[in-house]
Structures are given as structure tokens and as C-alpha cells.
């Protein structure tokens, strides 16, 4: 499912954009979850971030779409941002907030299809490379999968250790492991999942991680671990 926010104060233009989005998802056989906001303040005040695609009108009361996008980028630098406006001169300024594209109203169906095709492809590639961690109800981080060194569980508190930071979230280790590439990540024990790319070596019955701790292999687990390592490095 692709999460989409539409930030638009004009009722008629909002309804037309939603109609085109509905037609696109039906044609392409994909699912959108669309949330609608009447202006930039309503969007920012909702604190519902983590959208995949955001359609942002520029000329709105209260706070314009450009300023709302600057605030958005302080929280979420990676959502695909598409501006919609009747004023083409804002196109250049839109790229200062890393806008993916710019659509002049009235939105053209063919143009929207091309933009969405490109956005869906970007998201498909990105979702294979990143996971989303919710630290709190409205606070999240996007983590490149390849940066995760290991995940350690203590009851239902998981610690994600990456090459740069540590993040703690409430979740089950099984659920966390299922969200990761199965051939790259190995469930070493009931409390540890490791990224095989960061394994330094095997000493007796301990798996040594690069620039990190060593973890004991469970009894009888050495053969399974060696097979997993062999499969990963022969991908």
C-alpha cells in the first residue's frame, strides 16, 4: 500500500485530484491510502508523517505550501513531494525542498500518470532498501537496511544497532526479522538477529561482528549458521 497525502484548500481541485488518483490505482492494480488536508497547518498539526507521496498545493491560506514543505523536510526528508499550483514560477523554488515534480493546475491525467509511474518505481526501489521505525506515535526514522548491524531484543524492546546510531522501538523480534531480507539477516537466537554482511568471523561457538560484540551460537546452531553464511556470500 502506498500512503498519499493531498494538501489542497480548493474543494473542486481536491476532488478532481482524488478522482484521478482513484483511476490510476484501479488501472495499475495498486492500493493507495489517501488522507486529505484542507491546508498546510492542518497537515503539519496532524503529525501524521511517514507518507510515501505528498501532493502539496502552494497557494493556501495560513501557511503556503512551500513553507509547509520546509517544515516537513525537517521531520521527513524522504517523502516524495509533488507540488500542484496554478503559478508556474514556483517550479524552481520547489526544488529547494527536494520536490520530485511540479504540476500546473488543472492537473492533467496523462502528466499525473507519468509522475506517479516514476514515483511508484522510486518507492519500489526504496522499500527494498529501507525500513520505517516508529520511535514514538508520531516520530519515525527511515533506516537503510544495509546499515543495520544487528537487532537485539529484551522482552518487547528492540535495539536496532546501525553503523551510525542505535534506535529503540517496541516490537517483537519475529516481526522485525520478517521485515528484513531473509538471506541477508540471520536469526541467531531468540534475542538476536544479525546482518551477515557485518560478520567478522567465527571463534569456537561465538559469532564475531565487525567493530562490535560477539554473540554465542545456540547449541546445534553452527551448521545452520555456516550454511546461511555460505548462501549469503554466494548470492
Contacts of 123 (CB under 8 A, 6+ apart): 2, 52, 53, 80
Give the per-residue pLDDT at 97: 83
**pTM, entire model:** 0.61
> What is the distance between the alpha carbons of residues 153 and 31, in angstroms, rounded to a whole number?
33
Nearest to 209 by CA among 220, 194, 230, 221: 194
Element (H, E) at 105: none
Q: State the DSSP code for 147.
A: G
**What does the mean pLDDT of the chain come to?**
88
Q: What ranges do the domains of the chain cover?
A: 2-127, 133-233
pLDDT tens sequence across 34-43: 999 999 999 9
Highest mean pLDDT among 3-7, 73-77, 141-145: 3-7
**pLDDT for 189-219, tens place per residue?**
999 999 998 998 888 889 999 877 999 988 8
Task: Classify domain 133-233 by CATH number.
Answer: 2.40.50.1020
Query: Residue 45: enclosing H or E segment and its boundaries?
Result: helix 40-46
Convert the pLDDT of each residue in 131-152 to its tens digit: 888 877 667 888 889 899 999 9
Give, rounded to a whole angstrom, the gap between the first and last alpha carbons of the chain: 29
CA angle 116, 121, 126 (to 5 degrees): 120
Residue 44 is placed in which grid cell? 503539519
Q: Where residue 95 falls among pLDDT bands split at 50, 70, 90? A: low
Residue 45: C-alpha distances to residues 22, 39, 72 (Å): 26, 10, 11
Identical fold at 2-127 and 133-233? no
Residue with the larger pLDDT of the pair 73 and 19: 19
Please state, in angstroms and rounded to a whole number, the distance separating the CA atoms of residues 168 and 187: 18
- What pLDDT was estimated at residue 191? 95
Q: What class has domain 2-127?
A: alpha beta
Q: What pLDDT band is residue 88 in, cutting at 50, 70 and 90?
A: low
Task: Round to whole Å and give the CA distance between 64 and 7.
Answer: 10
What is the rounded average pLDDT of the residues 16-43?
A: 95
Contact, 55 vs 7, CB < 8 A?
yes
Provide the 3-class DSSP secondary structure of residue 153.
strand
Amino acid at each position: 500500500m502506498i500512503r498519499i497525502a493531498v494538501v489542497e484548500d480548493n474543494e473542486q481541485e481536491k476532488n478532481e485530484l482524488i478522482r484521478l488518483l482513484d483511476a490510476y490505482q484501479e488501472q495499475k492494480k495498486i492500493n493507495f491510502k489517501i488522507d486529505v488536508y484542507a491546508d498546510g497547518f492542518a497537515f503539519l498539526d496532524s503529525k501524521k508523517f511517514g507518507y510515501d507521496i505528498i501532493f502539496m498545493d502552494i497557494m493556501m491560506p495560513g501557511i503556503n505550501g512551500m513553507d509547509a514543505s520546509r517544515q516537513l523536510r525537517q521531520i521527513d526528508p524522504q517523502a516524495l513531494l509533488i507540488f500542484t499550483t496554478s503559478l508556474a514560477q514556483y517550479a524552481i523554488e520547489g526544488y529547494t525542498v527536494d520536490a520530485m515534480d511540479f504540476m500546473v493546475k488543472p492537473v492533467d491525467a496523462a502528466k499525473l500518470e507519468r509522475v506517479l509511474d516514476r514515483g511508484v518505481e522510486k518507492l519500489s526501489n526504496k522499500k527494498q532498501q529501507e525500513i520505517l521505525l516508529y520511535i514514538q506515535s508520531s516520530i519515525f526514522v527511515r533506516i537503510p537496511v544495509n546499515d543495520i548491524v544487528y537487532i537485539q531484543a529484551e522482552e518487547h524492546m528492540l535495539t536496532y544497532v546501525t553503523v551510525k546510531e542505535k534506535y529503540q522501538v517496541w516490537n517483537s523480534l519475529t516481526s522485525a526479522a520478517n521485515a528484513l531480507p531473509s538471506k541477508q539477516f540471520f536469526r541467531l537466537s531468540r534475542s538476536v538477529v544479525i546482518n551477515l554482511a557485518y560478520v567478522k568471523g567465527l571463534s569456537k561457538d561465538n559469532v564475531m561482528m565487525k567493530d562490535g560484540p560477539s554473540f554465542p551460537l545456540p547449541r546445534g546452531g553452527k551448521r545452520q549458521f555456516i550454511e546461511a553464511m555460505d548462501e549469503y556470500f554466494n548470492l
